[in-house]
Amino acid sequence: MSEKPKLSQVLTHGRYATSFDAESAEEVYDPRKESLVRSMLTEIGEDPEREGLRRTPLRVAKAMDFLTSGYSLSAEEILKGAIFKEDVKEMVVVRDIEFYSMCEHHMLPFFGHAHVGYLPNGQVVGLSKVARVVDVFARRLQVQERLTNQVADALMEHLSAHGVAVVMEASHTCMMMRGVQKQRSTTVSSAMRGAFDANPSTRAEFMSFIRN
């Protein structure tokens, strides 16, 4: 795709197309969001017309759409068609799935790794879909605890598994760049469902997999 599309450019998530304002010959993507970003730039004392910032409202609008694209996706859509019968009973763990989300308090990034385990009940899921489900919920405004629970509940619902375990470890830039300014603290959250909740040895096995 060329840098400057002739008339329109459909983004990968297909929500908006870019076009050109005939009068100013400026690329336009989402006029309302771009206008809000321009106002924000003015409010913080910047000049939205200076060269380095001219395309910033458009870039920010596109970035925000990507970072919140999880609202228009569902775990069900991702998982349906990716679950297949397999006579497996042993625990499956996908670990170190990197994710990027935004805290709903400050709209600043928090990011880290998710570890997801499940106990199959006669069917397994395509492994990439586990990571995609993490992204569906991460690309929204979140708190880490809710994100962790949503991933666990979605997998539990659609896999008909004996159990699901999710552990997330993240750094919150709202605690690093501002506020309490703690650079090295990380937050760990967990959600245990089914056998992982009921059975300490199942939970311990999962924890041993993600520690090594």
Ligand X SMILES: Nc1nc2c(ncn2[C@@H]2O[C@H](COP(=O)(O)OP(=O)(O)OP(=O)(O)O)[C@@H](O)[C@H]2O)c(=O)[nH]1
Based on the shown chain and the rule CB under 6 A, indicate whether residue 114 belongs to the binding site for ligand X. no
**Distance (Å) of CA 97 to CA 25, 94, 162, 187, 194:** 42, 7, 22, 16, 22
Q: Which CB atom, from 13 or from 105, has the smaller least distance to Zn ion?
A: 105
Consult the annotation and say whether 106 binds a ligand. yes
Which tokens go with 44?
């913080």
Site string for Zn ion, 74-103 (x = CB under 5 A): -----------------------------x
Q: Which of 175, 191, 192, 195 binds ligand X (CB under 6 A)?
A: 175
* Tokens representing residue 103 in the block: 């805290």
**Of 15 and 105, CB closest to ligand X:** 105
Task: Examine residue 172 and tell whether it contacts ligand X (CB under 6 A).
Answer: yes
Shortest gap between Cβ of 143 and ligand X (angstroms)? 4
Clarify whether 98 is annotated catalytic: no
Active site residue 181: no
Q: How near is the Cβ of 69 to ligand X at its closest, in Å?
A: 19
Position 103 contacts ligand X (CB under 6 A): yes
Please tell me the distance from the alpha carbon of residue 172 to that of residue 182, in angstroms, as a whole number.
9
Write the DSSP string, the chain: --SS-SS-EE-TT-S-EEEEETTTTEEES-HHHHHHHHHHHHHTT--TTSGGGTTHHHHHHHHHHHHTGGGG--HHHHHTTSEEE----S-EEEEEEEEEEEETTT--EEEEEEEEEEE-SSEEE-HHHHHHHHHHHHSSEE-HHHHHHHHHHHHHHHH--SEEEEEEEEEEHHHHTSTT--SS--EEEEEEEEHHHH-HHHHHHHHHHHH-
Based on the shown chain and the rule CB under 6 A, indicate whether residue 134 belongs to the binding site for ligand X.
no
Q: Check binding of 40 to ligand X (CB under 6 A).
A: no
Residue number, 103 or 119, with CB nearest to Zn ion = 103
Using CB under 6 A, pick the residue from 88, 179, 182, 188 that binds ligand X.
179
180 binds ligand X (CB under 6 A): yes
Q: Does 174 sit near Zn ion (CB under 5 A)?
A: yes
Is residue 31 close enough to count as binding ligand X by CB under 6 A? no
Active site residues: 103-106, 144, 172, 174
Residues engaged in binding Zn ion (CB under 5 A): 103, 105-106, 174
